[in-house]
Amino acid sequence: MSDLGVGGLRASGHRATTKRARGCVPVLIALLVIAVLAGFAYVKGVDFIKARLSGPEDYSGSGVNPTVKVEVKAGDTATDIGNTLYDKGVVKSVGAFTDAASADQRSLSIQVGSYLLKSKMSARSALEVLVNPAAIIKNPTVTIPEGLRAQEILAAIAKQTDLTPKALKAAYDDTAALGLPDYAKGDPEGYLFPSTYDVKKSTTAAGLLHEMVAKFVSEAEALGLEKQAAALGESPTDIVTIASLVQAESPPDDMAKVASVVYNRLAAGMPLQFDSTLHYAIDSRGEIQTSSDLQNLDSPYNTYKLTGLTPTPIDSPGEAALKAALEPAKTDYLYFVTVNLATGETKFAATLAEHNRNVAEYRKYCETSDAC
């Protein structure tokens, strides 16, 4: 009985110990989970505090090579630009750039365009590049001055760009694709507007010439060319032709007066007697006063033998010449001559006698000048 009793007590004591051990396991697991979570929360909390105290991640310095091309598009916000910089590996975080931009009023003046930056730049260094307009990558350009003839314009483009003379000639001859105004009558002479044009890798000969014609159309609309031509009793075609003559014959300050001579001579039924038209006829550039042989040239551009305007413009006039053709000075002048080629001094006259005196002054000038 006693052995059984002892045995029973031992058995009962073993079961109690096992139950107590099993009851501690969940507690230990719970404590472990709590400890892990607490540690995780602590690390994250420290990181959060550090982030708050130190700000967004940022590189230091002005960056390293290689360079990176970054494009700022119209309507881009500081965040948009920051994302572009981050995606390109320029800045370490978008926040670093937006913080730098918000602290600098110059960021509001960042211009649309392409920029070259470096990899791993500080946000401040990247911003310094973007707020500098001189840092914008410029496309190659071609500059066409006022007064060039169409063939001279094509030659200038070929010289200044990679576009070939053959491609330019083909584009020029395809007049239907140039976007010429109706009053050009299918002839581009005079309608390739003188200006400076961007030439990208994608620019074609046809695209560039079309842009030049579009620039003319835009300038003509701004000047109210068709409406003002009608008010003068002239066709838009004639206005462009008169402007081309003014461009060829006049220094900048005298364009309105030269235009008045054109109108006065046309009204009087007098031949214009412009040497520039003779040079156009033979595709030359030359003296102010042409020879008698050239003045007897059989050509529709010979304004010594024929009255009225030339069949087409003789060059591409600029804005000032077009404006002078639309707003000529009110004078009784019928003659003019440049008496000093170095200064461009031009004298006007209402009578032939006065004009002859001015011509004599020009000839005397030429006796001592190599410019004639």
Q: Torsion over CA of 186, 189, 194 and 196, rounded to 10 degrees?
A: 70
Q: CB within 8 A of 146, min separation 6: which ones?
A: 194, 247, 315, 316, 317, 318, 320, 321
CA 156 to chain centre: 19
Gap between the Cα atoms of 77 and 29, Å rounded: 51
Q: What confidence tier does 3 reach under pLDDT thresholds 50, 70, 90?
A: very low
Instruction: Tell me the one-letter amino acid at 327.
Output: E
The answer to whether the Cα torsion of 303, 308, 314, 316 is positive or negative is: positive
Give pTM, 2 decimals. Answer: 0.69
User: Cβ distance 335 to 329 under 8 Å?
Assistant: no
Query: 3-state DSSP call for residue 196?
Result: strand
Whether the bond into 313 is cis, omega within 30 of 0? no
User: Cβ distance 309 to 322 under 8 Å?
Assistant: no
For residue 308, pLDDT over 90 is answered with yes
Gap between the Cα atoms of 126 and 61, Å rounded: 10
Q: CB within 8 A of 357, min separation 6: which ones?
A: 349
Phi, psi values for residue 201, rounded to 5°: -60, -30
Gap between the Cα atoms of 348 and 338, Å rounded: 9
User: Cβ distance 220 to 181 under 8 Å?
Assistant: yes
For residue 53, pLDDT over 90 is answered with no
Query: 3-state DSSP call for residue 160?
Result: helix
CA contacts within 13 A on the Cβ side of 286: 14
User: What tokens appear for 318 in the block?
Assistant: 């600029």
pLDDT at 16: 44
**pLDDT tens figures, 127-137:** 999 999 999 98
pLDDT at 44: 53
Instruction: Tell me the one-letter amino acid at 190.
Output: G
How confident is the prediction for the chain on average, in pLDDT? 88
**pLDDT tens figures, 157-208:** 999 999 999 999 999 999 999 999 999 999 999 999 999 999 988 999 999 9
Gap between the Cα atoms of 83 and 90, Å rounded: 10
CB count within 10 Å of CB 347 equals 19
Flag the least confident range among 5-19, 33-47, 56-70, 89-103: 5-19
Of the two residues 25 and 229, the one the predictor is more confident about is 229
For residue 45, pLDDT over 90 is answered with no
* Percent share of the chain, pLDDT over 70: 84
pLDDT at 14: 44
